[in-house]
Amino acid sequence: MSKPKIAFICVHNSCRSQIAEAFGKVLAADVFESYSAGTETKPQINQDAVRLMKELYGIDMEKTQYSKLISAIPKPDIAISMGCNVSCPFINYARTRPVYDAYRKAGYSKSFLDAHREEIPLHKAAKAAFDEAGLKKLPKAKDLSIEYAALLKKKKEAYPDYRKARDEMQELMKAQKNVEMFFAEEKDTAEKEPTR
């Protein structure tokens, strides 16, 4: 029996989806085949992500991975969106609409539903995202790019606060580790001292 193919999908396939693919290959290779892709590509994987994965986990993503489009990977059994709220529901909608249209033409046939068990719920979820956003048709790529740029600007503006909070958390964790080490050494010393 072949392993299921799982694809981690995001916009540029340069950071989060690459990390997910790498972890999938290292931690779950016996369970599923791990892939990642994007709706656009970057010339290289995000170098901060590459550095951190090497430093923290000993995983060199650049050995076997590169930024690629969805069309460059095998058809996945499961596609996981990496939280890029700007494009992913639209991709799922556009990709699954022909299947859903055929399902409607087949009179919502149970056998058709069984044959397309993954695409139809994905289409319904994308349609629900459309309805929630109050959209009646696919937005234009230019409009999505403008919205994405605005969100990216907000993210960049919030990054200094995030970095400050992260640095403070790291200092607190170091202090906690030092206190734990101090009490562990104190306990060891007390145990080793002879009693009179």
Digit-coded pLDDT (tens) for 104-118: 999 999 899 888 887
Query: d(Cα 40, Cα 9) in Å, to the nearest integer?
Result: 10
The listed CATH number (3.30.70.260, 3.20.20.70, 3.40.50.2300, 3.40.630.40) that belongs to domain 5-139: 3.40.50.2300
> Smallest Cα–Cα separation from 4: which of 38, 34, 24?
34
Q: pTM for this structure?
A: 0.46
Query: d(Cα 68, Cα 56) in Å, to the nearest integer?
Result: 25
Three-class DSSP category at 2: coil
Residue extents of the structural domains in the chain: 5-139, 140-196
Residues 75, 80, 82, 86, CA torsion sign: positive
**Mean pLDDT across the chain:** 84
Query: d(Cα 187, Cα 65) in Å, to the nearest integer?
Result: 48
Alpha helices in 11-115 (DSSP H): 16-27, 47-57, 88-105, 110-115
pLDDT recorded at residue 194: 67
Measured between alpha carbons, how far apart are the two ends of the chain, in Å?
Answer: 69
Residues 57, 79, 13, 11, CA torsion sign: negative
Taken as a whole, the chain contains a residue count of 196
pLDDT recorded at residue 40: 80
pLDDT recorded at residue 80: 86
